[in-house]
Amino acid sequence: MYEEMPIGVSITRIVEETPSIRTFYFDHEISARPGQFVMVWVPGVDEIPMALSSSSSITVQKVGDATAALFAMGEGDVMGIRGPYGNGFSAGGRTLAIAGGVGATPLLPLAESGQVEVFLLGARTASEVVFADRIRRVARLMVATDDGTAGHQGFVTELVSRVDLEGFDRICVCGPEVMMAAVLRILERAGCAGRGEFSLQRYMKCGVGLCGSCCIDPHGLRVCRDGPVFPGTVLLDSEFGRYARDASGRRQRV
């Protein structure tokens, strides 16, 4: 659906979630599975992949030109949306969610659909903890901050030892890739890498599997089409946690 051209949507509401993260609500409902993404066209700037935080919203962290342009928009402004694309998270069984920063975005719909039992959420500091109130209403929330201003002082990966991994059928993860790679190593040591589901972010041009810009080594899997969610066993011997590629195709350390 909407694979050829973006449709124009008007921004109806903007919520400042944290000093660096905003949610943009728009006047169109998108039927998507938790973890799927859309391509967002910012007129005159760029088109970028974004996770859906609800059927009619994207949640954005200001990190580059396109997101800075989004942050300059207001209610009534128009952006382009096409999608949804990708596979999303699987369904069923007891689920543990692990998120770092704005990586909570694709996991929020999973939680609000009643599919998450425990949610581990990490951030740099208390003011950057996103969606905490919404998550608490639907799951058991455990928070970690780098500086200790909220919850556990340390990384969100340190909270994993406080839960029984054997009790979960799937472990859904999204956030900075270094954090996700650390979670994968923990799952591998515990013998449950196959139950991990990791949402990857890569540079994309088309979003529909044609251009190959988001292929990952060594399997050639396309993040936009075969992902963005991959089982941990697929990622164990891949580029995951080591490098990604920029717009020119050059490797960059993650």
For domain 95-253, the CATH class is alpha beta
Query: Is 174 annotated for ligand binding?
Result: no
Q: Is 243 helix (H, G, I), strand (E, B) or coil?
A: strand
Between CA 121 and CA 53 the distance in angstroms is: 15
Domains 7-85 and 95-253 share a fold: no
Closest CA to 93 of 72, 79, 114: 114
| pLDDT for 205 beyond 80 | yes
Do the Cβ atoms of 208 and 82 come closer than 8 Å? Answer: no
Please tell me the predicted confidence (pLDDT) of residue 12. Answer: 98
Question: In terms of Cα–Cα distance, which of 182, 188, 194 is closest to 156?
Answer: 182
- For 194, the token pair is 């196959």
pLDDT tens figures, 52-93 = 999 999 999 999 899 999 999 999 999 999 999 999 999 889
pLDDT per residue as tens digits for the range 9-18: 999 999 999 9
Mean pLDDT of 13-27: 97
pLDDT of 139 above 70: yes
Percent of the chain with pLDDT over 90: 89
Fold (topology level) of 7-85: Elongation Factor Tu (Ef-tu); domain 3 (2.40.30)
At residue 2, the pLDDT reads 41
192 is in an annotated binding site: no
Return the half-sphere exposure (C-beta side, CA atoms, 13 A cut-off) of residue 154.
Answer: 9
211 is in an annotated binding site: yes
206 annotated ligand binder: yes
Sequence ranges of the domains in the chain: 7-85, 95-253
Q: How confident is the model at residue 247 (pLDDT cuts 50, 70, 90)?
A: confident
Residues found in the chain: 254
Average pLDDT over residues 1-27: 89
Confidence band, pLDDT 50/70/90 cuts, at residue 148: very high
Q: Is the pLDDT of residue 98 over 60?
A: yes
